[in-house]
């Protein structure tokens, strides 16, 4: 299991504003791009998005499903990557004074990742999480107060 935390200099509502906008997923999740809605209204229970995953010169299609959501505290996802398998990704969002402590916990469920799961793989996931949480923080900290209170209204191309 690979767990990592990051303190974000905004309230939990701002973190949720980013998490609830499926267009932003590819901007904070390392390795994904071209995010688009597949089923349901993201991030309602059972909804899903699809995106491109690049591994070197190869491109694959990935899919992420919402398995559990308890606003404003928990978002659990299952990321599917075809033959590579799937992983459980749990985000815990907690108020920390006037900031937010976000913890991400990921572990492989099926496929090659699940079969080959070991300490080395967890170390690689930890490095990915460091970048992923830094990106989430950057996107969240760029929100205006109005955007932080009205999820999904942010422009997809804003940096």
Q: Taking the alpha carbons of 124, 125, 127, 128 in that order, is the dihedral positive or negative?
A: positive
Question: How many domains in the chain?
Answer: 1
How many CA atoms, within 13 angstroms, populate the side-chain half-sphere of residue 154?
30
Domain for residue 128, yes or no?
A: yes
Residue 36 domain flag: no
Q: Which residues span the domain enclosing 25? A: 2-30+68-147
Are 151 and 69 in contact by the 8 Å Cβ rule? The answer is no
In a domain, 50, yes or no: no
| CATH code (residue 97) | 3.30.530.20
11 found inside a domain: yes
Residue 135 lies in a domain: yes
In a domain, 136, yes or no: yes
* Cα separation, 5 vs 104, whole angstroms: 6
What six digits make up the tokens of 63? 């899919």
Is residue 152 assigned to a domain? no
- pTM of whole model > 0.75? yes
Residues of the chain with pLDDT below 70 are 1, 113-118, 120-123, 144-159
């Amino acid at each position: 299991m690979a767990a990592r935390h990051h303190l974000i200099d905004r309230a939990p509502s701002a973190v949720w504003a980013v998490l609830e906008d499926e267009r932003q997923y590819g901007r904070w999740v390392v390795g994904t791009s071209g995010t688009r809605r597949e089923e349901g209204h993201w991030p309602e229970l059972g909804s899903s998005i699809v995106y491109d995953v690049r591994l070197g010169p190869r491109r694959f299609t990935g899919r992420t499903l919402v398995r559990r959501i308890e606003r404003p505290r928990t978002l659990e996802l299952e990321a599917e990557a075809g033959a590579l398998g799937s992983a459980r990704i749990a985000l815990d969002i907690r108020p920390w004074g006037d900031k937010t402590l976000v913890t991400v916990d990921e572990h492989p469920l099926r496929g090659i990742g699940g079969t080959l799961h070991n300490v080395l793989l967890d170390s690689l996931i930890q490095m990915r999480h460091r970048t992923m949480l830094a990106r989430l923080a950057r996107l969240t900290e760029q929100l205006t107060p109005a955007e932080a209170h009205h999820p999904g209204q942010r422009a997809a191309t804003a940096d």
